[in-house]
Amino acid sequence: MGKNIEIRFRHWVYVDGIKFFGPGRVALLEGIQETGSIVKAAKSMGMSYKKAWAMVDAMNTYGQEPYVITQKGGQQGGGAQITGTAVKVIEAYKILNEKLLRIVEAENELLDLI
Amino acid sequence: MGKNIEIRFRHWVYVDGIKFFGPGRVALLEGIQETGSIVKAAKSMGMSYKKAWAMVDAMNTYGQEPYVITQKGGQQGGGAQITGTAVKVIEAYKILNEKLLRIVEAENELLDLI
């Protein structure tokens, strides 16, 4: 039986040499979008709230526009939603992902050698 | 002053779901090629000998052909060299890297949004 050989890749956006956006932040933003909450999104990823908050804060601080808007207070202890900027960045990130995937899927030489 | 925004990527070959080849192993193999020694290659990367040896062993075990040949004994305590297979895989890996780099370098939409 042949072995299952595949190429996997990841890509990130760096701003001034610091990781700004990548697969982890896409997942976090999508989790916030789904649950309306940073706490719940972090929990669903097995990530600490502290780390999730630091990610949100970094995006909101270093991006041109905020990525996540939080509301304080209320019966649910506040909530969070992602902005139109976040939606657009996620979309552009995924389009690039598709482009890279097409290159990787067309790659045979490397796989045949392994 | 504008921010320096760039996309970085990494890619790996997985065999049966296990990481088989990627940037770390390219660096290790090139270090072995340069120094003729797993110990020296590991040291130059700040990697433990144990980890370097485990990487070499995994490549030799799960690849179609060996990637590193070791010689035991002698005044220098043995040496190591990489095989033609390793050279070819490194080359194919770098060619794929160039292809992915061309896609990433042509990407503007994502960068403009960040």
Partner-chain residue, chosen from A3, A12, A99, that has the shortest CB–CB distance to B15:
A3
Alpha-carbon gap: A74 to the closest alpha carbon of chain B (Å): 32
Contact A100 B103 (CB under 8 A): yes
* Helix (H) or strand (E) run with residue B48 in it: none
Tens of pLDDT, residue by residue over B40-88, are 999 999 999 999 999 999 999 999 999 999 987 655 556 999 999 999 9
Question: If you average pLDDT over residues A66-93, what whole number do you get?
Answer: 87
Q: Is B13 on the interface with A (CB under 8 A)?
A: yes
Q: Are B44 and B35 in contact (CB under 8 A)?
A: yes
pLDDT for the residue A10: 96
* Helix (H) or strand (E) run with residue B16 in it: none
Per DSSP, the three-state class of A110 is helix
Q: Is A5 on the interface with B (CB under 8 A)?
A: yes
Residue B6 has pLDDT above 80, yes or no: yes
Q: If you count them, how many residues does chain A have?
A: 114
- pTM of the prediction? 0.86
Tens of pLDDT, residue by residue over B11-28, are 999 999 999 999 999 999
Contact B11 A6 (CB under 8 A): no
Residue B101's closest chain A neighbor by CA?
A100
Reported ipTM: the value is 0.87
What single DSSP character describes residue A15? E
Residue B110's closest chain A neighbor by CA?
A92
Helices (H), chain B: 23-35, 38-45, 49-62, 84-105, 109-113
* Token reading at A4: 């299952």
CA–CA distance, B101 with B111 (Å, rounded to integer): 15
